[in-house]
Amino acid sequence: MILVIGGAGYIGSHYVRYAREQGEKLVVLDNLVYGHKESLPKDVPLIEGDMGDAALLDHVFTTYPIRAVVHFAAFAYVGESVIAPAKYYQNNTVATLAVLDAMVRHNVRSFIFSSSCATFGNPHYVPMDEKHPQDPINPYGESKYFVERILRAYDTAYGLRFVALRYFNAAGADPEGVIGESHDPETHLIPVIFQAAMGARANIKVFGTDYDTPDGTCIRDYIHILDIAQAHALALKRLEEGDSSDFFNLGNGQGFSVREVIAACEKACGKPVPIEEAPRRAGDPPRLIASADKAHTTLGWKPQYADIDTILQHAWSWEQNRRY
């Protein structure tokens, strides 16, 4: 059985659905602070609680025959992490340490970690490969980077083997429309644009128009949520076949500016989106684009939905027919 921590969240729930379809048996641990019970299939048990709770973790590891842990649970608002750093270090780093210690206690040695392109900080070059220097510029990125360092140490000390997947910008939704992105508050660019298109918000605020990029707005590499799910499944397979611990960047190798994403969303939904130019958001690097060559060659990762218009269509159809 696979323990999926944060399995009721946006990325975790898409992995649960994907892995279940591949025949995996799963159990989810989620505190439901941001997760949604409704996003989980009825036959996947949900344990509601905190991953930092050692007694609860002991209960989970003794109750279920867990062979691996796939860990998604995190606070992931870059802007908030600048204002409330302790929340990020505590939850994303310290509570993750409790998970790793429980794994060591219960002799579970395979761990897949949701890391982030935010561990890199400002780009020295793009596309960014795994050799790019890591110097995070916000507490969110640091909280993930610290876990990456801890993982190396736990591998050396306890033989805990891991794959850390550094995703660039997760986007889109399950093409069948059963699950999708639902954050409260919603701050992510694509859902906010569609909400502005539907009139649920007055406009989309473009955070910073004076970056050193062709149109002055930030550039990001958007990757479909199901392609991220696929990478987790491949990473776990690779670990269980005996490969050593490793780090992979996940993205499509193509960058889109905030203005380009807005234009593509207008095309996807056929509606104009009112824009307000706003100051830069603290903690945002100007440009993040992945080189995922290593994931392609080593993991055999083949994105199915690399096209931005497909990603946006799936996001738009979820936004129109949200179930939670």
- For the bound state, the minimum distance from the C-beta of residue 105 to ligand UDP, rounded and expressed in Å, comes to 33
Q: Which residues bind ligand UDP (CB under 6 A)?
A: 78, 169, 187-189, 192, 204-207, 218, 220, 258, 281, 284
Catalytic residue IDs: 140
- For the bound state, the minimum distance from the C-beta of residue 111 to ligand UDP, rounded and expressed in Å, comes to 23
- For the bound state, the minimum distance from the C-beta of residue 153 to ligand UDP, rounded and expressed in Å, comes to 27
Report the C-alpha gap between 281 and 154 in whole angstroms: 35
Q: Which is nearer to ligand UDP, 50 or 260 (CB)?
A: 260
Q: Which is nearer to ligand UDP, 41 or 216 (CB)?
A: 216
Of 200, 211, 310, 316, give the one whose Cα is nearest residue 259: 211
Q: Which residues, listed in sequence order, are joined to residue 206 by a DSSP beta bridge?
A: 277
Of 317, 82, 269, give the one whose Cα is nearest residue 187: 82
Angle at which helix 139-158 crosses helix 95-105, to 10 degrees, equals 20
SS3 content of the chain, % helix, strand, coil (to 5): 40, 15, 40
- For the bound state, the minimum distance from the C-beta of residue 164 to ligand UDP, rounded and expressed in Å, comes to 17
Q: How many CB atoms lie within 10 A of CB 234?
A: 20
Closest chain position to ligand UDP (CB): 218
Residue 35, CB-side half-sphere exposure with 13 Å CA sphere: 27
E strand or H helix at 163: strand 161-167
How far CA 106 is from CA of 12, 62, 196, in Å, comes to 23, 8, 48
Q: Which is nearer to ligand UDP, 169 or 249 (CB)?
A: 169
Q: Which is nearer to ligand UDP, 192 or 229 (CB)?
A: 192
- For the bound state, the minimum distance from the C-beta of residue 213 to ligand UDP, rounded and expressed in Å, comes to 10
E strand or H helix at 153: helix 139-158
Radius of gyration for the alpha carbons in the chain, expressed in angstroms and rounded: 19
Q: Which is nearer to ligand UDP, 41 or 85 (CB)?
A: 85
